[in-house]
Structure 1
Amino acid sequence: MRLVSIARGSNKLVATLINELTRQHTELTVDQVIVDMGTVPDNELFNALREVAGNGGVTDIKSLIANTPQPRGQLGYELHRIGDAQASRNIHTAIYDAFRLCHQS
């Protein structure tokens, strides 16, 4: 869930959240809101590179989970989002993402 907005409602706060997977919005009426500031990926470079990537910038999740090589697309390089380019993560998770994708290549 990601915080989208906060509005005052009578004597409380109304927090609007969005589910990152389903894009469904949820409103919660609360006394206070505590926010952990993550990062938002800069998609400009990724979108420019995905146009000529052999895999179109798509990571095959089934292959990733099964610990098997990513399917080879057309000619060109493979492009994958890892670490903070995907979601707010720590450096260990970013390195692990890269390891899982590259060790089977």
Structure 2
Amino acid sequence: MAIRFHVTSVLNRASIREHGLDYRKMGAARGIAGSYEAEQEGCFLACSPSERDWFVRMNNTGGPVDVWEVNGVEDDELTISPEGHHYRAGILPPDRICLAQRDIA
């Protein structure tokens, strides 16, 4: 089973630990691309370490970011956004994610 990655502001850490990856909870910080609202009804996931690193470099949150590892998401659960990025519709509960890297400038 592949490991996916989610990159987000450190300001979202407490919410993610409590609620998991829930696009409806967005608001503590801008999205990684700088958006103030969820662009999709789901969570963007990087499917490789190189894509994860690309999202880290893109960082438009205004501060440091965390990288979360996401387990149990199969290829057929992913959708491609109009911008060409993978996301999984819905919410990912806290038991499917793990903080892998924290406070990346």
Q: After TM superposition, is the score higher than 0.5?
A: no
Q: TM tier, shorter chain?
A: under 0.3
Please identify which structure carries the higher strand content. Answer: 2
- Higher RCO (C-alpha under 8 Å, 6+ residues apart): 2
Larger Rg: 1
TM-score of the aligned structures, taking structure 1 as reference length: 0.25
